[in-house]
Amino acid sequence: MLIRFPSLALGLVACICGCDRSSSPSPGDEPSASRALSAPVAASVHHAGPVVVSLVVDQLAAWVLSERLPKLPKDGGFARLAREGTYVRDMRYAYSATDTAPGHAALYTGGVPRESGVWANEVFDASSHAAAPIVQDGATKLVFSDVKAFVGASTQILRVDTVADRFRAAHPGAIIVSLSLKDRGAVFGGGKKPTATLWYDRSLDRFVTSTAFASSMPGWATSLAVPKAVRAQPWTPLDSEWVGQNAATVDSQNGEALLGSKAPVFPHDIAHAADPARAFIASPYGDDALFGLAIAALDAYRDSPGPKLLAVSLSSNDYVGHAYGPDSWEAWDELRRLDASLGKFFSALDARFGSDGWSAILAGDHGVTTLPEAAREVPGARAWCSQSDAGADRWQRPCGSVGRLDRTALSAELSIAAETALHRKGLIVGLLDPYIYLSAEARALGPVERKRLMDALVAALRKHTEIDRVIDTSTLAATCPAESDETVDALVCRSYVPGRAGDLYIVTKAGSFVDAEVEKGKGTSHGTPWLFDRSVPLLVRAPHRSAPGRVVETPTSFRAFARSLSTLLGVEPSVSEAVGAVDLTKADQ
């Protein structure tokens, strides 16, 4: 169903941030990246081929943007995208493991985890049994000032090509740049042969790349690689009055992470935090650093022949959401600041390529749920529960009790249960949400002993009221149901990669989750099959293609992102995109 969004049909006003001057920092206080976005640049009118920007806002849930977009300034970036393009309110992932790596892989390949091969954020190392990023590649090294003896990342986990790979094959001279605070947020947007793929390494407190993509850092990124200047100012609300009017919680809500500070309350002194790098990524300054790199890349390659793809994964929204929850003052200010930065970024694109000279596509990679403490203590944090039809909430948001599961304690419980059942140690490797991994010895058990082990593990897990179901992945269908089947079993089937993913799949009750351990016992998470985690927004701006101001209410497959991006880049869609995927660059789709 298509409807118009009349409140977005307003022109831009003078203040890009759409904020009260009395509550916003003076120009001299703005981070250097923000000033770069505002700097005037003579438009380049002779660029060749399309200029396409793909944006992924990490942890941007459909329910969050649907409720908050009308409250954001009409001159912000989100309003501009909706006004000048198509806004899909409910783009749905067709799998249950709604996390960053599977989400980015799905967006940039058009495939569910079973197709892409990317089933989780982390995996267990076969020899050490230590958790490692799923994109980690032992055959590569990190690259920053020079090549160091640190393991790098690559796209080697992928079973299929990305949109960028097909773009490179069709246009060998294309410029492809992918940026993120996370390696798993960067590598899929750039594909196997990017011009540059960069991400932030917290342990090194700098942006890096990998020998999978380059032997040195690009020159345009050198001065921005260490982002200390960006986070020099304390994080204060852009508009305290606006945040206070909209946030349901108090500034210091129980359950929020401290991140090295004395209290989870504004102002946050990033530069002087116990761990500045950690505090930096969980603040809007992470976005500022990425936008600074994005502008530097555009300027470096602006006059290069051939088409251009700039993929930016904005990770700060995820880190902020994990630490403070989606209803916090910090989450509201992060969205407001991101909206203002997007507006400035789009103006910078206008200045360089003309307003009709670039296209953009924006989506979230997964959703988020409310802090358990806010759910218990703040009625306004779950406003949908006071509605007469709360039981039929569009996004399956819960109204009952919710909680977080302690991953370490749960792993220990499972080890004890396994040892008690079979009188052997070492049968459990561990828990990496949402999977329980068995050891090679446990996987080699005969049918009788395996059943005894599985029964013991399921019984131990089902004692926790936060868990809805436990699925033995060996019982999943060899061929998953059609995407129209949104049952939990079908969603889990599409999340599972046979022979590589775990042995038991934990399905938590709606609103409960395994602690992400941003700070133990604090914060919130995602990764469930419920719609508040599976549904994200999609916005497509394609001048002279997509109908401006169009809003799509009908639930839409996540494959629409890759399908539309392929069209914007002028490349043929993949098989997964071509089958049933909507192309939102066309006015009649």
pLDDT digits (tens, 9 = 90+) for 96-123: 999 999 999 999 999 999 999 999 999 9
Q: Which amino acid is at 131?
A: A
Q: What is the pLDDT of residue 13?
A: 29
Is 384 among the domain residues? no
Q: Tens digit of pLDDT for each residue in 202-251?
A: 999 999 999 999 999 999 999 999 999 999 999 999 999 999 999 999 99
Q: Tens digit of pLDDT for each residue in 141-154?
A: 999 987 888 999 99
Three-state SS sequence of 289-300: HHHHHHHHHHHH
Q: Are 565 and 441 contained in the same domain?
A: no
- Looking at the structure of the chain, the number of domains it has is 2
pLDDT exceeds cutoff 70 at 3: no
Q: Tens digit of pLDDT for each residue in 514-552?
A: 999 999 999 999 999 999 999 999 999 999 988 899 999
Q: What is the pLDDT of residue 443?
A: 95
Is 77 among the domain residues? yes
- On the 0-12 / 13-18 / 19+ scale of CB atoms within 10 A, 44 is middle
Q: What is the CATH number of the domain that holds 414?
A: 3.30.1360.150
Residue 560: band (very low, low, confident or very high) from pLDDT cuts 50, 70, 90: very high
Q: What is the mean pLDDT of residues 567-583?
A: 86
State the chain's mean pLDDT as an integer.
Answer: 91
Q: Are 150 and 209 contained in the same domain?
A: yes
Give the structural domain span for 420.
Answer: 406-463+467-508
Is 447 among the domain residues? yes
Q: Are 341 and 422 contained in the same domain?
A: no
Q: What is the mean pLDDT of residues 435-456?
A: 96
Is 105 among the domain residues? yes
- In the three-class reduction of DSSP (H, G, I as helix; E, B as strand; rest coil), residue 551 is classed as strand
Q: What is the CATH number of the domain that holds 96?
A: 3.40.720.10
Q: Please, where are the H alpha helices in 121-197?
A: 163-170, 183-190
For the chain, the straight-line distance linking the first and the last C-alpha, in angstroms and rounded, comes to 10
Helix (H) or strand (E) holding 151: strand 147-153
Q: What is the pLDDT of residue 38?
A: 59
Is 65 among the domain residues? yes
pTM across the whole model: 0.92
Q: Are 449 and 570 contained in the same domain?
A: no
Q: Are 311 and 355 contained in the same domain?
A: yes
Is 481 among the domain residues? yes
Q: Are 360 and 423 contained in the same domain?
A: no
Q: Are 109 and 236 contained in the same domain?
A: yes
Q: What is the pLDDT of residue 39?
A: 55
Helix (H) or strand (E) holding 508: strand 504-508
Q: Are 449 and 545 contained in the same domain?
A: no
Q: Are 501 and 567 contained in the same domain?
A: no
Q: Are 414 and 358 contained in the same domain?
A: no
Q: Tens digit of pLDDT for each residue in 311-363?
A: 999 999 999 999 999 999 999 999 999 999 999 999 999 999 999 999 999 99
pLDDT exceeds cutoff 70 at 25: no
Q: What is the pLDDT of residue 391?
A: 63
| Assigned token pair, 337 | 């600041």
Measuring CA to CA, which residue among 178, 153, 394 is closest to residue 294?
178
- Between 45 and 105, name the one with better pLDDT: 105
Is 401 among the domain residues? no
Q: What share of the chain is helix, strand, coil (3-state, %, to 5)?
A: 35, 20, 45
- With a CB cutoff of 8 Å and minimum separation 6, the contacts of 441 are 424, 426, 427
Residue 35: band (very low, low, confident or very high) from pLDDT cuts 50, 70, 90: low
Is 389 among the domain residues? no
Residue 6: band (very low, low, confident or very high) from pLDDT cuts 50, 70, 90: very low
CB burial readout 309-344, b (16+ within 10 A) else e: bbbbbbbbbbbbbbbbbbbbbbbbbbbbbbbbbbbb
Residue 31: band (very low, low, confident or very high) from pLDDT cuts 50, 70, 90: very low
Q: Tens digit of pLDDT for each residue in 457-493?
A: 999 999 999 999 999 999 999 999 999 999 999 999 9
Q: Are 225 and 134 contained in the same domain?
A: yes
Q: Are 313 and 450 contained in the same domain?
A: no
